Amino acid sequence: MARLLLGVTGGIAAYKAVAFVRLATAAGHAVRVVQTPVSQRFVAPETFRAITGAPVLTDEFEPDPLRGAYPGDPLPTHAAISHLALVERADAYLIAPATANAIAGLAAGRADSLLSSAYLAADGPVLVAPAMNHRMWHHAATRRNVARIVEDGVTLVPPGSGRLASKGEAGDGRLAEPEELLAAVEAALAPRRDLDGVHVLVSAGGTREPIDAVRFVGNRSSGRMGYAVAARAAARGARVTLVAANVGLPDPPGCDVVRVATAEELRRACGAAFGDADVLVMAAAVADFRPVAPAAGKIKKAGRDELTITLEATTDVLSELAGRRRPGQTLVGFAAEHGPEALVHARGKLERKGLDAVVVNDVSLPGIAFDADHNAVTIVTAAGDEPVARAPKADVADAILDHVVRARTA
Ligand code: CTP
C-alpha cells in the first residue's frame, strides 16, 4: 500500500486517469489527485473525489481540507504550511495524462500550477505518461522536452500506438493503459532486491602516483560513477566493497569503503576482496604509468631548466584479476575513450581482458563523464552493444547492474 499522487493535465485521455485511480485504490493504494484547470473540462474533480475519497486540489492557494493527508492517514492536527505537503508525503507522483504543453512546462521547470510546483518539489519517483496526437508526439520540440525530463530523472511511461481521439487518426500518442500505468508505478515503488546476498566489489575514483612528497601524476576521475554503482548495488541488496581512490564524496550508505591512493594500493585492496566477490565493477581510472623513482622530499626548481620524469607501466589490475577469476564471477570494466573509435577500442578491451561487459564513456562528448552528475554510455558485451542515453549516474548505474544480473542468470 502506497501513497500515490496523481497529476491530471488537460487531455481527452483524462478519462483513463479515472480508470487508473479505480485500479490503484482497488489495489490498496491511497490516492490523491491534483488537476490543472483545463483538465476539469474533461473530467470533473467530483469524479476523482468520489473514487479516491479525498478532495482534489487545483490551485496552489486552495486550502486542503485533509491538510496534506492521504486517505487512511490520520488527519494532521495542523494545516500544512506548504501547499506541497501532498507531494512531500507521496511515495510516487504520476502525471497522467501529460499533454505536450504540460511536458514542455516540466522540461522548462515552470512552477505555474500546483501540478507543476509539485513536480519540482518531488523527491521520490516521478512518472510521466504522455498522451497527445501522434504528430505532436513526434514533433522535434516534444522529443526534446521528453528527452529533457528523462534526463532530469523522470520515468517515462511511453504512449501506445493505435486509434487517437481525432476522428480517423491513428498512431503513437495514446495514453498507456491504466494497468500499464499501475504496473509502472508499482515497479518504481518496489525496491529491487535482485542482488540480495551478492558480493559486489567496486573500484572508484582515480589513482595518484607520487612524483615527490607533494606532487603526483593523477587523472580527472571524481569517483561519481563508481559511487553510483556502489550505492545502487547496495540498494538492490548487494554486500558492497568499495575501493575508493582519492574520492571526495560522502560514503554511499551500506558499503564497506576501503581507501587507497596509488595503483599499487588499489591492486592490493581489490586483490584481497576479489576472491570472495561475485561481481567486480572496475570503474576506477587506474594509472597506466607511474614515476619510476619518486623523490622522498620535494623536488626543488632551483638550478633546473627542465625536469624529466621517467614513468614505468603499472600492473593492469583488471587483467590480473580476470586471469584468476573463478566460474560464477562477473567482471565489468570501464573504458574512457575519445572520439568515434570508442566502441572498437572497447570491444578490443572486452576480449583482451576477458570481461563480461565494458562500459564505454566517450569523453569527447560535452557535459558527461568526468565530475558530471550525468553520464551517457554504451554497454558493450559479447551479445551486442546497449546505448544508455544521457541520464543521472544512478540510472546509468542501474542499467549496468541490470546487465550484471542478466549475466549472472544467463
Ligand atoms: N584498468 C586497471 N588497471 C590499470 C589500468 C586500467 O584495472 N592499470 C582498468 C580500468 O579500471 C578499466 C579498464 O581497465 O576498467 C580499462 O581501462 P583503460 O585505461 O581504458 O584501458 P587500457 O587497457 O589501459 O587501455 P588504454 O590504452 O585505452 O588506456
User: pLDDT digit string (tens) for 213-267?
Assistant: 999 999 999 999 999 999 999 999 999 999 999 999 999 999 999 999 999 999 9
Q: Of residues 290 and 162, which shows the higher confidence score?
A: 290
Q: Are 204 and 252 in contact (CB under 8 A)?
A: no
Ligand 1, atom 8: closest residue by C-alpha: 316
Which of 297, 333, 154, 135 shows the shortest CA–CA distance to 212? Answer: 297
Residue 394, pLDDT above cutoff 80: yes
The pLDDT score that the predictor gives to residue 203 is 98
Cell reading at 238: 548487494
Residue 369, pLDDT above cutoff 60: no
Name residue 209's beta-bridge partners: 217
Q: What is the largest CA-CA distance in the chain?
A: 86
Cα separation, 306 vs 120, whole angstroms: 55
- Lowest-pLDDT range, 258-267, 357-366, 375-384? 357-366
Omega of the bond leading into 97 within 30 degrees of 0 (cis)? yes
The pLDDT score that the predictor gives to residue 397 is 96
C-beta 13 within 6 A of ligand 1: no
Coil vs helix vs strand at 87: helix
Ligand 1, atom 6: closest residue by C-alpha: 286
In the structure, what pLDDT confidence band is assigned to residue 370 with cuts at 50, 70 and 90?
Answer: low
C-beta 363 within 6 A of ligand 1: no
Which of 103, 94, 97 shows the shortest CA–CA distance to 142? Answer: 103
The pLDDT score that the predictor gives to residue 56 is 97
C-beta 349 within 6 A of ligand 1: yes
Q: Which of 101, 145, 219, 375 is catalytic?
A: 219
C-beta 235 within 6 A of ligand 1: no
361 classed as catalytic: no
C-beta 335 within 6 A of ligand 1: yes
The pLDDT score that the predictor gives to residue 367 is 64
Ligand 1, atom 19: closest residue by C-alpha: 335
- The single-letter DSSP state of residue 53 is S
Distance 353 CA to ligand 1 centre (A): 9
Coil vs helix vs strand at 378: strand
Taking each helix axis as running N to C, give the angle between helix 14-26 and helix 45-52, from 0 to 180 degrees, rounded to the nearest 10.
10
The residue to which cell 601524476 is assigned: 217
Structural domains of the chain sorted by starting position, each given as residue range(s) with its CATH number in brackets: 3-189 (3.40.50.1950), 199-409 (3.40.50.10300)
Cα separation, 310 vs 292, whole angstroms: 6
**pTM passes above 0.85:** no
Over residues 178-218, the pLDDT tens digits come to: 999 999 999 999 888 899 999 999 999 999 999 999 999 99
Residue 272, pLDDT above cutoff 80: yes
Ligand 1, atom 24: closest residue by C-alpha: 288
Phi, psi for 36 (deg, rounded to 5): -85, 155
Q: Are 69 and 88 in contact (CB under 8 A)?
A: no
The pLDDT score that the predictor gives to residue 72 is 87
